[in-house]
Amino acid sequence: MQFLSAHWLDIIGTLIGLVYVWQEYRASMWLWITGLIMPLVYMVVYYRAGLYADFGMQVYYALAAIYGLIVWKFGRKRGQSEGEAMPVTRVKRSLLLPSLLLFLASWGAVYMLLIHFTDSTVPVLDSFGNALSFIALWWLARKYLEQWLLWIVVDTELAALYVYKGLPFTAGLYTLYVIIAIAGYRKWKGMMRGAASAPDGQDKDNGNGTL
């Protein structure tokens, strides 16, 4: 009971996270609703653990959830039919360099904030995972297949960090995220191929839930 009392919020966040990643795996639009709830829980979890970059990222996650919901609901991609859910596509090559530069700038900025304005004991790792998450969330909002590859890196690094910081349930969740990210990449790739091979005029199922 003492263990549960100390980690109950971590457990709740883990359960919400499982729902979120399952919805992401299915490419369900509901993931953005769950993505609005989850940051509220993890703001408290990360602040108590002294993971200040992760704490600050929760604000970004909430804003990204709103952006992602709007884009998935109303956004259009080239070749997308009227009334068709936004399809899974590969990231544009023209976005690779800007994404890399944004990641490096974010990593440096978050690192500087941590070492100058917090007592973080893991500024390099804390800032790395969160900076790469900026890019991964952006790619997820645009429904790019390669967002899963970024999450594999992010989730692996953060799982190890949370073990070190004494968050066992969250660490276990992120370990599971790695496995689901690998499966998600394969599923989205299959969805993308299926949509590309569908006959003209036939509805293309992207696994996208409706609100």
Give the model confidence (pLDDT) of 88-103 as tens digits.
999 999 999 999 999 9
pLDDT at 141: 92
pLDDT at 173: 80
Q: Which two tokens stand for residue 145?
A: 């297949």
What is the SS3 assignment for the chain?
Answer: CHHHHHHHHHHHHHHHHHHHHHHHHCCCCCHHHHHHHHHHHHHHHHHHHCCHHHHHHHHHHHHHHHHHHHHHHHCCCCCCCCCCCCCCECCCHHHHHHHHHHHHHHHHHHHHHHHHHCCCCCHHHHHHHHHHHHHHHHHHHCCECCHHHHHHHHHHHHHHHHHHCCCHHHHHHHHHHHHHHHHHHHHHHHHHHHHHHCCCCCCCCCCCCCC
pLDDT at 126: 86
Q: 108-121 b/e with 16+ CB inside 10 Å = b?
A: eebbebbeeebebe
Which residue stretches of the chain have pLDDT < 50? 201, 203-207, 209-211
pTM across the whole model: 0.80
Ramachandran class of 143: left when φ > 0, alpha when ψ lies in -120 to 50, beta otherwise: left
Residue 206: count other Cβ atoms within 10 Å of its Cβ. Answer: 18
pLDDT at 211: 47
